[in-house]
Amino acid sequence: MPGEFREEYYVPTMDVEVTEQLHFDTDRRGGILFNVWDIPSARSADAAEYLNNADAAIIVFDLARNATHDKAIEWHRNLTLNASNCSIIILCGNKMDLDGQNHETKAREPPSIIAQQTCGNAQYYAISTKFGHNIEAPFLRLCQHFLADPSLKFASHCGLPMAGDRDTEIDWECAAKSPLPDEDD
């Protein structure tokens, strides 16, 4: 849940994790259920077995680490080679909340430009999983794509903040202005 991120509870994905029935309600098309496979970057070498029947992909990389962006490009390549059913690929740069701090990718061109240059058919979103900022956008884009309805919207927050929500924007502005706690706090 947004606002409940706690580093002491964070555990990176080590093996393939399947989240069944990630649910989103749309404004006019009812509910949409996604089966989500979370595949760690370390598994990209044997990705073909996981990607074979993928209908879509969301590739997430860390804006603060160039190596993860390079790995995202590798994932994109694996998808285009091994996932013949995959009709949409979305690239997400995570940790946008760092606001340029510690962004290795800042030395390069902006991630959205890099995404277009290296992963031409991938749409790019900057997100913050820590603050829940823009994390519904990739899923909304998937719904719009599969339902062939570019004006489709989510009907509810689905437990996540929606872009344009004034309360969320105020929370986001406050969070952006707040100093980070010392590491020993």
Domain ranges of the chain: 7-177
- Percentage of the chain surpassing pLDDT 90? 17
- What is the SS3 assignment for 143? helix
Return the pLDDT at 113.
Answer: 62
- With cut-offs at 50, 70 and 90, classify the pLDDT of residue 13: low
Return the pLDDT at 102.
Answer: 52
- With cut-offs at 50, 70 and 90, classify the pLDDT of residue 27: very high
Sign of CA dihedral 137, 143, 149, 153: negative
Return the pLDDT at 50.
Answer: 73
Return the pLDDT at 162.
Answer: 47
Residue 166 pLDDT greater than 80, yes or no:
no
User: How distant is the alpha carbon of residue 131 from its chain centre?
Assistant: 13
Return the pLDDT at 107.
Answer: 45
* 15 CB-contact burial (10 Å; exposed 0-12 / middle 13-18 / buried 19+): exposed
Return the pLDDT at 52.
Answer: 80
Which CATH number describes the domain made up of 7-177?
Answer: 3.40.50.300
- CB contact set of 130 (below 8 Å; sequence gap of 6+): 5, 95, 97
For the chain, give the mean pLDDT. 73
Average pLDDT for residues 38-60, to the nearest whole number? Answer: 75
